[in-house]
Amino acid sequence: MFDTVAVVGATGAVGTIICRMLADRKFPLKHIKFLASSRSAGSTLRFAGRDYVVEEMTPAAFEGVDLAIGSTPDETARDFAPWAVERGCLVVDESGYWRMDPKVPLVVPEVNPEAVEDHHGIIASPNCSTTQMVVAMKPLHDAARIRRVIVSTYQATSGMGLAGSKELDAATRAAVAAEPFKPQAFAHPIAFNLIPQIGSHKEQGYTSEEMKMVYETRKIIGDDSIQVCPTCVRVPVDNCHSESILVETEKKLTVEDARRLFAATPGIIVVDDLAAKSYPMPSNCNGRDEVFIGRIREDISSPNGLAFWCVSDNLRKGAATNAVQIAELLVRKGITARRKGQPVASG
């Protein structure tokens, strides 16, 4: 058990869910504190029937904290994680800043739980689009070794935080009323539209979001030979990311094989009856912690290909749930922070 837990970025879209989940899942702790930027400091949050004043995130705020779960912008995570680790605190970080640091484990508990044992004070949680994909990949890879993945994502506006959700609402109202609208959260109007760019230009015509899926997948699965070809698209859906995934395996898997493997995997729910028009959709996966899989079919263009559709709540399993599950994994394994004063990850 961690005596004192801090939620960093507690007033944000993911941070509020983390707070709620810690209470709902009765995470073992004695004391809790909520940290945020100076803009939110002084506001109150209710946790387990009590009101708490949100504190400003400063180095001193981490004194006496055993575990910090953070959901902040990258540059904020860059600063606060070393502050916490230097004070003997273990950090579970939701941002993208630490994910590819070679000293930082990148963890999805259903996929690579053993990775938490090699932490240097910081444990990273992956990008939301990567998380649901590797959960789906894990049983197939264990059974038949995945060689290649082609994935197209259909990512909800909540992936941009509260600003993204608000912009979808405002843009839709403006479009319906035939009123002009100037986008701010997105590069183009999102209402009744698709934007085939998430993140900045990175390399070879791929975006930063797409390259995250490449590098993070290899790190989590522990296999740098896996080839990943991603296309990430922002869609006018408020919450839950959807993905069309095609995997090529060394050993052939039938639809029946895949359905059996998926159904036996904790954290996966199979919804797959095309004749009955039954398959996962954002509207029926919202607010859930599982990864939903349907439309399972063999690739008619490849002897060892398997295609399927995957939907998950990006604010929960894609972010808050995975972070809380990492914290619960640490408790089960009896893993705590390193000794105070040890050096942090390389950054």
Distance CA 158, CA 104 (A): 27
| Residue 195, beta-bridge partner list | 234
Q: What is the DSSP letter of 59?
A: G
What 167-170 contacts at long range (C-beta under 8 Å, 24+ apart), as own/partner pairs, is 168/236, 168/238, 169/238
Burial zone of 210 (CB within 10 Å; 0-12 exposed, 13-18 middle, 19+ buried): buried
Distance CA 118, CA 95 (A): 19
- In our burial notation (b when 16+ CB lie closer than 10 A, e otherwise), range 297-309 reads bbeeeeebbbbbb
- Of the candidates 30, 57, 213, the one whose C-alpha atom is nearest the C-alpha of residue 134 is 213
Catalytic positions, written as ranges = 128, 241
